[in-house]
Structure 1
Amino acid sequence: MRFAPQSLRAQIVSLVLVSLVIAQVVTLVLLEDQRDLAVRAAIGDEATGRAVNVVRLIEKAPESLRGQIVSAANSPLVQFEIGTVPVVDHASHDARGVTEARVRALLGDDFSRDIRAELHEIDSSALPFTYLEPNMAELHREMMRGQLLAVEMQLSIALSGGDWLNVSTRFERPPFQWPQFATLSFGLSAGFILLVLFWYLLARVTGPLRLLADAAEKLGPEQCGPVLPSAGPREVKELIQTFNRMQDRIVRLVAERTRMLAAMGHDLRSPLTAMRVRTEMVEDDETRDSLIASIVEMQHMVEETLSFARGLADAEPRQNVNIGSFLETLRESMLESFTLIQGDGVRVRVRPNAIRRALRNVIENAQRYSGGAEVSYASVADTVVIRVCDRGPGIPEPELERVFDPFMRLEASRSRDTGGHGLGLSIARSILRGHGGDIVLTNRSSGGLCASLILPIET
């Protein structure tokens, strides 16, 4: 199945073509069989008709003219001979007695003498007849294209006086032919059917399916694509309508969750600010510092929650950017620089602020846990992969996916003195997936962690 067509359109076209070829071959075989039977019947009718005429002439002519009549009646395909012994020397006639009945009907009802007929297949290595001239024999063999089997008919008719008229005729099965009109008919039929399939049926089926696939690929947590028009057969229409309803439910669900997070984060700001003011009035220094530290940590959590919500709800328009220049600008704007390995000048369509936030989160994680980050990028197939690598302690393999959960921290594998509330990678992945990409974490064999940010290249 490796070489089988993959697309629905190619599979349908291939199936139609194979079906047409099989139907055409079967039709030609059946026609060839009918042609074979027709040729046999025609030659048999001619031989029996000539035999009847010869019998009538012999019966009416003087005995001295019988030899001349037989010689005049002979042809390359039919041989006549008068003898005292019948060629068909047994009582078994042809299978259904058709030849005997035909001869007897032509001779008339008053003919009561014995008629014997026999049909059987013979090897054509004995053909053509030995009495044919060499050039005639060669022409005959070329015409029959080396067919191995032929049909021989032998007929013995009893004459008045006790002699027998022996008739022998042989005719090969006509060779298999592919007439030009069959090729033309096949081409016209296949062309018409494929034209109808391509411009009507396949367009009605694969067109809406392709639009559905594109809409599903572009569907992100922060955006709702246009409502797809219901087109095509009933099953395709039902599928598109189901997708539209699913898209609407997903977007409403994400929007409600985003609004809830944003509302919670916003509402927490006021009481935290009030608590911060009142904490300043605490006279005990140790207690005041402890409370302030807790409030500051809570404020950071609120800000990160709002940032996470904004990452889901961001409706920033996309721009075509050069990824190398984009990373260079990001490095210059960050407080702590990182090592940038220049690659190809590939361009991608992104929401710059969102991607900048995702990259900053990942790079700051690497800097926080290892003291530095090494960033490289390259185009792979139809994507651009930005790799952010560090030389920190890494992450246990079973936890490589769990770290993307909101508020998930793995202090057992990272420094206990580092900050963060476990939302940086969640925000980054949400942004990347909103672009149709993803983030994949892998541990380096030499130590450290690599985060691969994958973005599709859209021109």
Structure 2
Amino acid sequence: MPQSLRLQIVCLVLAALAVAQGVTLVLLEDQRGLAVRAAIGNEATGRAANVVRLIERAPVNLHGQIVSAANSPLVRFEIGTDPVVDHISHDANGATEARIRALLDDDFSREIRAELHEIDSSALPLPYLEPGMADQHREMMRGQMLTVELELSIALAGGDWLNVSTRFERPPLQWPQFATLSFGLSAAFILLAVFWYLLARVTGPLRLLAAAAEKLGPEQGAPVLASAGPREVRELIQAFNRMQDRIVRLVAERTRMLAALGHDLRSPLTAMRVRSEFVEDDETRDSMIASIEEMQHMVEETLSFARGLADGEPLQSVELGAFLKTLRQDMPDGFTLAQGERIEVPLRPNAMRRALRNLIENAQRYGSEAEVSFARTRGGAVIRVCDRGPGIPEPELERVFDPFMRLETSRSRETGGHGLGLSIARSILRAHGGDIVLSNRPEGGLCASLSLPRQG
């Protein structure tokens, strides 16, 4: 089955139409078969009645010529002393016998036997036909096997019997041109209605819902979706809008709480820093000042992280190579930048600079130098920041994105920050609709791959 909902519905409609058309055709063919059998039976009984009249009114020496002239590829007549139907009539409800008596004189009272049954015909044509009639019969049957036989035995006035035997085929299953035209027109009208009404009302809102789900988050500022489509689709869109509103309010509340907490900690830390200067013991004073400065740095990074979550900077179309060259000029230590093709991507420039700075500074701190490259991908672009450091153990590659997570266990600011750099960078990339993935290089070192979509 195709993956698209539209194509699945189209296939389902076409399959249902084909099945319905096939069933209708079979039913019509069955009715046609019954009609053909009735017509041939009526023809045989009518001819039999006429032959009986001719035989009983003509001289005996003309009987053979009459019977020979009455024979046809489908009906055989012969006069004999014994009836072909040697038992009581098997004709259902006596319909065949009644038809023959109705065609004969009202005073015809002699015995009429009729039998209609299925036969196991194994070859064409009928064995008793002359060569000329056999060829004609073979052409009439078009190679179809005979399946139904009607036998009549009518008592004649002189004591002989007129035996009549007729066999006819079931009409072959055919697909007439009008059925093809009917199927095509039905499929066209139904698919047109399905496409322009049902699918447009269902798949259109679903596509918008999928796009909104991709942008879900306070950074994207996704608008409220308008309810459209059938009732079930409208209910789904309304539920999505409520969910989005709850998520936005929850994240905004947590961000405000985090920012307020960091902001409120500044004042007591500043007071503690001032008071620590009055401590007379040098060793105690230096230890207190170092601890307070570390706490202040943690508060600043916490506020920076909170600002990153709540950043509402608009997207801008940026040429990636020029953007990275400008970033290299702005950074004191610079970095190695590999040349690449011209790639336009939508970015929030300030936020992306911040994310890249965090990654490049990590590479320079732990791997001596940073090697930056970029390339086009099927979905957009990728920026790689690699170093030649010791790398990160595989089980820790994902955990290092947790806030305040540090692999370097000492709390020294000389050997690392407070574990918010990677968290901030990933938050920024995900706000762009991308992500960051860390991997160890085979030749040694760590590589951070930043994926960016073509459209934000």
TM-score (norm 2): 0.92
Q: Which residue matches 2:343?
A: 346
Task: Tell me the CA shift for residue 326 of structure 1.
Answer: 1.6
Deviations along 1:142-191, one digit per CA (max 9) or x if unpaired, are: 55442233433222111111111111222222222111111111111111
Task: Tell me the CA shift for residue 399 of structure 1.
Answer: 2.0
C-alpha separation in 2, matches of 1:139 and 1:105: 32
Task: Tell me the CA shift for residue 110 of structure 1.
Answer: 4.0
Q: Which residue matches 1:425?
A: 422
2:397 pairs with 1:406: no
Q: Which residue matches 1:291?
A: 288
2:176 pairs with 1:188: no
2:163 pairs with 1:166: yes
Q: Which residue matches 2:384?
A: 387
Task: Tell me the CA shift for residue 122 of structure 1.
Answer: 4.2
Q: Which residue matches 2:268?
A: 271
Farther-moved stretch of structure 1 (122-131 vs 28-37): 122-131
Q: Which residue matches 1:146?
A: 143
Q: Which amino acid aligns with 1:258?
A: T
Distance 1:377 1:144, change over 3 A: farther
Task: Tell me the CA shift for residue 244 of structure 1.
Answer: 0.5
Farther-moved stretch of structure 1 (170-179 vs 315-324): 170-179
2:390 pairs with 1:397: no
C-alpha separation in 1, matches of 2:42 and 2:369: 102
C-alpha separation in 1, matches of 2:392 and 2:356: 19
Please say if residues 80 and 162 of structure 2, whose CA atoms lie closer than 8 Å, have aligned partners that are also in contact. Answer: yes
2:83 pairs with 1:86: yes
C-alpha separation in 1, matches of 2:101 and 2:36: 22
C-alpha separation in 2, matches of 1:324 and 1:137: 89
Q: Which residue matches 1:126?
A: 124
Q: Which residue matches 1:215?
A: 212
Distance 1:319 1:298, change over 3 A: same
Deviations along 1:314-337, one digit per CA (max 9) or x if unpaired, are: 111101112222222212211122
Task: Tell me the CA shift for residue 418 of structure 1.
Answer: 1.0
Task: Tell me the CA shift for residue 389 of structure 1.
Answer: 1.8
Deviations along 1:176-222, one digit per CA (max 9) or x if unpaired, are: 21111111111111111111111111111111111111111111232
Distance 1:250 1:133, change over 3 A: same
2:309 pairs with 1:306: no
Distance 1:129 1:326, change over 3 A: farther
Equivalent runs, 1:86-105 vs 2, <5 Å = 86-91=83-88, 93-94=90-91, 97-105=94-102
C-alpha separation in 1, matches of 2:201 and 2:88: 70
C-alpha separation in 1, matches of 2:372 and 2:125: 86
Deviations along 1:236-259, one digit per CA (max 9) or x if unpaired, are: 111111111110111111111111
2:241 pairs with 1:226: no
Could you tell me which runs of 5 or more consecutive residues in structure 1 were left unpaired when the two chains were aligned.
none
Task: Tell me the CA shift for residue 277 of structure 1.
Answer: 3.4
Please say if residues 392 and 448 of structure 1, whose CA atoms lie closer than 8 Å, have aligned partners that are also in contact. Answer: yes
2:250 pairs with 1:257: no
Secondary structure in structure 1 of the residue aligned to 2:123? helix
C-alpha separation in 1, matches of 2:336 and 2:28: 78
Q: Which residue matches 2:364?
A: 367
The Cα RMSD (Å) is: 2.5
C-alpha separation in 1, matches of 2:360 and 2:102: 106
Q: Which amino acid aligns with 2:346?
A: R
Please say if residues 373 and 385 of structure 2, whose CA atoms lie closer than 8 Å, have aligned partners that are also in contact. Answer: yes
Farther-moved stretch of structure 1 (270-279 vs 163-172): 270-279
Task: Tell me the CA shift for residue 112 of structure 1.
Answer: 3.2
Q: Which amino acid aligns with 2:185?
A: L
Farther-moved stretch of structure 1 (424-433 vs 86-95): 86-95
Q: Which residue matches 1:38?
A: 35
Please say if residues 335 and 372 of structure 2, whose CA atoms lie closer than 8 Å, have aligned partners that are also in contact. Answer: yes
Could you tell me which runs of 5 or more consecutive residues in structure 2 were left unpaired when the two chains were aligned.
none
Q: Which residue matches 2:111?
A: 114
C-alpha separation in 1, matches of 2:186 and 2:14: 10
Please say if residues 144 and 175 of structure 1, whose CA atoms lie closer than 8 Å, have aligned partners that are also in contact. Answer: no
Deviations along 1:345-391, one digit per CA (max 9) or x if unpaired, are: 22211111111111111111111111112222222321322222222
C-alpha separation in 2, matches of 1:159 and 1:41: 25
Q: Which amino acid aligns with 2:438?
A: L
Farther-moved stretch of structure 1 (60-69 vs 162-171): 60-69
Task: Tell me the CA shift for residue 86 of structure 1.
Answer: 2.3
C-alpha separation in 2, matches of 1:370 and 1:45: 102
Farther-moved stretch of structure 1 (153-162 vs 415-424): 415-424
Please say if residues 320 and 348 of structure 1, whose CA atoms lie closer than 8 Å, have aligned partners that are also in contact. Answer: yes
Deviations along 1:3-56, one digit per CA (max 9) or x if unpaired, are: x11121111111111111111111111111111111111011111011112212
C-alpha separation in 1, matches of 2:141 and 2:78: 26
Please say if residues 394 and 447 of structure 1, whose CA atoms lie closer than 8 Å, have aligned partners that are also in contact. Answer: yes
Farther-moved stretch of structure 1 (49-58 vs 419-428): 49-58
Q: Which residue matches 1:316?
A: 313
| Aligned equivalent of 2:172, options 165, 170, 175 | 175
Distance 1:149 1:323, change over 3 A: farther
Distance 1:199 1:143, change over 3 A: farther
Task: Tell me the CA shift for residue 282 of structure 1.
Answer: 4.0
Q: Which residue matches 2:13?
A: 16
Q: For this pair of structures, how many residues does the alignment match?
A: 455
Please say if residues 220 and 433 of structure 1, whose CA atoms lie closer than 8 Å, have aligned partners that are also in contact. Answer: no
Secondary structure in structure 2 of the residue aligned to 1:376? strand
Please say if residues 223 and 251 of structure 1, whose CA atoms lie closer than 8 Å, have aligned partners that are also in contact. Answer: no
Distance 1:385 1:97, change over 3 A: farther
| Aligned equivalent of 1:240, options 231, 237, 241 | 237
Farther-moved stretch of structure 1 (284-293 vs 445-454): 284-293
C-alpha separation in 2, matches of 1:330 and 1:143: 90
Q: Which residue matches 1:437?
A: 434
C-alpha separation in 1, matches of 2:45 and 2:89: 18
